[in-house]
Amino acid sequence: MHMAERFDEDSLRAVGVRIDAEHPEGIIFDPHQPQLRVTDLAAVRGDGIFETMLVKEGHVRKFSAHLERLQRSSKITGIGIPPAESWRAAVARGLDEFRTRSGLPEELSVRLTASRGVDGEPASEDVNFSGTYWALLTPVPQSVQASRGNPISVALLDRGYDATAAERAPWLLLGAKTLSYAVNMAALRWASEHGHDDVIFTSSDGQVLEGPISTVLIGSRGEDGRVHLHTPSPEVGILPGTTQATIYRAAEAAGWTTSSGPVTVEELRGAQFLWLTGSVKLVSPITRVDEQEFTADPEITDQLLQFLTQEG
Amino acid sequence: MHMAERFDEDSLRAVGVRIDAEHPEGIIFDPHQPQLRVTDLAAVRGDGIFETMLVKEGHVRKFSAHLERLQRSSKITGIGIPPAESWRAAVARGLDEFRTRSGLPEELSVRLTASRGVDGEPASEDVNFSGTYWALLTPVPQSVQASRGNPISVALLDRGYDATAAERAPWLLLGAKTLSYAVNMAALRWASEHGHDDVIFTSSDGQVLEGPISTVLIGSRGEDGRVHLHTPSPEVGILPGTTQATIYRAAEAAGWTTSSGPVTVEELRGAQFLWLTGSVKLVSPITRVDEQEFTADPEITDQLLQFLTQEG
């Protein structure tokens, strides 16, 4: 079942680490026990921000890039967050908990969440500890690991906004990774009900945006065999992809060319190769967009996956 | 402080009532103790729905209308919810708890929340009890009670969507009252930072929509003294206002005329009288929209408040 793969099938083995002013390096909790008040704004109004990272053999991939993006979300939303060293210490504590309890799984997903906290009752006078903060470490299901690089079918769905909304309406929080993801989840359900595996959002004026939980990557192979990668730029109100950024650095080092900028739906439909990239699923080649078939290039896909093992 | 008024200043005296398959009539909990797992989709992705109602002297106002709208949100989002009698029994239990503990406050706000629950771990095989459900009863602060009918200043803010988005893109969940309210809260913060008390959202193509937590009401007094009320219709992707509906029924009985339909920003700016209506704040006359001044008619405002005491 496609949707279930996105979440923790193995949640019985999950570990939580809370961060607060008294525990700036984190304190372990059991995620199967209640931890949040119903008045926490995360649960009241989806008023929080998050990041999801992959831990492979005990090493957190692109930790800095995720912390930078969390900081960006913090700035956009005005939700104070603990310093980077707190998040790093909390995740290290969670990994240690796995090591002492049951051994470290080969792969874990780590979700960092910062909620604005309980309204009117800041958890601390220090604005960087005034909300509710936790890291959740969950083993990556074998099914997700095995599905990497497998071809997928996507639906193009209208995100409702035009491509200039982010610039003219900062209160829309476009570019922040907030907990208000009900629409993203609804889009994935809609796609699943219509025979697709995933979604690419488009703007109401025909620009390609992003997936509900992923970044769009477009590729072409030149006559000389050299690969060029292109991705929609964040100016249209989307998240800068940390996985895409890692791929770009490695690709450029390997002599590929890369670019980012506006992509129209027509350009997407005319693309040679397409992928969705994300921190846990990594790289998924797209072989269908709505009713249109696309060819996958297993060689390039393997190379993209390889790029992601080289760094952070 | 304006923003704080929207939430529970008196949360120390709040009462929670959880509903689950084992407690279809509700079971009391202390909202100051953790109640939700961090894996609950309410906190993970703002994936839930809610309603907020007013209880005056022990009587829940327009309970049926709120339950109907919760049912509508349930249908749009696919989140199963307990039957109406469960919600009614849970709220009655919460009111009893107040009666036995500290006496019933003159006014309470009651928030009904239904979360999709913990993904992959339905709370019950019965889809109507598969999520996480609770009612939170909180005394209405004296400051909120006293502020009813007071003039407010609003900012017109672009909601990013055009007026046809709801119809063409059901995955946007427009018309459902979901927990993914980060944008609504950001809009209210933006307004507060710019000297306004509240917000009226407009569509990207110039239609008037709704407030982040209220309905827009437009009024005019004819030459014969008769009042006509108008409100934007739900087809543009907004919530049907339960307070506005109650006002309409009473107004029509009193011989006023009413209508609903599209309202352009120009028409709003040319209106004679404007109000925001909501279940707890009831009626707020608008005396400023951005930089434009409006006249309030205290007589009509008083009558609108009076209409709301007559029913449900």
Model ipTM value: 0.93
The nearest CA of chain B is from the CA of A303 a distance in Å of 33
Tell me the per-residue pLDDT of A154-190, one tens digit each, with 9 for 90 and over: 999 999 999 999 999 999 999 999 999 999 999 999 9
| Interface residue of A180, A181, A184, A202 to substitute, partner B, most B CBs within 10 Å | A180
State how far the Cα of B100 lies from the Cα of B93, in Å rounded to an integer. Answer: 11
Residue B88: which pLDDT band, with cuts at 50, 70 and 90? very high
CA-CA distance, B4 to A117, in Å (whole number)? 14
Does CATH number 3.40.190.10 belong to domain A2-140?
no
Confidence of residue A311 (pLDDT cuts 50, 70, 90): low
Residues B105 and B140: beta-carbon distance below 8 Å:
yes
Half-sphere exposure of B212 (CA within 13 A, CB side): 28
Output the pTM of the full model.
Answer: 0.94
DSSP state of B281: T
8 Å CB contact between A280 and A223: no
Between B16, B162, B171, which is nearest A204 by CB? Answer: B162
pLDDT at A9: 40
- In chain B, the residue whose alpha carbon lies closest to the alpha carbon of A18 is B38
Quick one: tokens of B170?
Answer: 């059901």
A152 near A287, Cβ under 8 Å? yes
- Within 10 A of A224 (CB to CB), how many other CB atoms are there? 5
Distance CA B152, CA B296 (A): 10
- In this predicted structure, what is the pLDDT of residue A5? 40
Nearest to A11 among B11, B39, B45 (CB): B39
Residue ranges with strand state E in chain B: 15-20, 23-29, 48-56, 59-60, 107-115, 132-139, 152-158, 198-202, 215-221, 227-231, 257-260, 273-278, 282-289, 292-293
- Residue pair B237/B207 in contact by the 8 Å Cβ criterion: no
Confirm if B205 and B163 have CB atoms less than 8 A apart: yes
Residues β-bridged to residue A175: none
- Asked if B183 and A171 come within 8 Å (Cβ–Cβ), the reply is yes
Q: Residue B120 is nearest to which of A9, A158, A178, comparing CB atoms?
A: A9
At B119, the pLDDT band (50, 70, 90 cuts) reads confident
User: B11: pLDDT confidence band, cut at 50, 70 and 90?
Assistant: very low
Please give the structure tokens belonging to residue A197: 């595996």
Instruction: Kindly report, residue by residue over A33-91, the tens digit of the pLDDT.
Output: 999 999 999 999 999 999 999 999 999 999 999 999 999 999 999 999 999 999 999 99
Mean pLDDT of chain B: 94
**Torsion angle of the four alpha carbons B20, B21, B26, B27, in this order, in degrees rounded to the nearest 10:** -70
B38 contacts A16? CB cut-off 8 A: yes
Is the pLDDT confidence value at B126 over 50? Answer: yes
Task: Give the architecture (CATH level 2) of B2-141.
Answer: 2-Layer Sandwich (3.30)
The residue among B120 and B160 whose pLDDT is bigger is B160
What is the arithmetic mean of pLDDT over A114-132? 95
**What does the pLDDT look like over B165-202, one tens digit per residue?**
999 999 999 999 999 999 999 999 999 999 999 999 99
| Paired residues of A200 in beta bridges | A156
- SS3 at position A48: strand
Q: Do B169 and A160 touch (CB under 8 A)?
A: yes
Task: Report the DSSP pairing between strands A215-221 and A227-231.
Answer: antiparallel
Q: What confidence tens digit (pLDDT) does each residue in B35-47 have?
A: 999 999 999 999 9
Residue pLDDT, tens place only, B53-73: 999 999 999 999 999 999 999
> Mutation test of the interface with chain A: which of B2, B6, B28, B45, choosing the one with the most A Cβ atoms within 10 A?
B45
- Domain boundaries, given as residue ranges, for chain B: 2-141, 148-309
Residue B279 and residue B239 in contact, taking contact as beta carbons nearer than 8 Å: no
Report d(CA A164, CA A301) in Å as an integer. 32
The pLDDT score that the predictor gives to residue A187 is: 98
What is the tens place of the pLDDT at every residue in A241-261? 999 999 999 999 999 999 999
**Residue B13: what pLDDT?**
82
Q: Given this structure, which CATH class describes domain A148-309?
A: alpha beta
Chain B residue closest in CA terms to A30: B37
How near does any CA of chain A get to the CA of B238, in Å? 14
Test mutation, B180, B192, B238, chain A, max A CBs within 10 A? B180
Residues of B in contact with A157 (CB under 8 A): 169, 171
Determine the Cα–Cα distance for residues B61 and B140; give it in Å rounded to an integer: 14
CB < 8 Å to B160, chain A: 160-162, 165, 169, 172, 174
Between the two ends of chain A, the Cα-to-Cα distance in Å is: 31
Write the pLDDT tens digit of every residue in A177-236: 999 999 999 999 999 999 999 999 999 999 999 999 999 999 999 999 999 999 999 999
- Residues of chain B with Cβ-Cβ distance to A34 below 8 Å are 33-37
pLDDT of residue B311: 63
Specify the amino acid at residue A266. E
> Is residue A104 over pLDDT 70?
yes
Q: What is the mean predicted confidence (pLDDT) over A4-26? A: 75
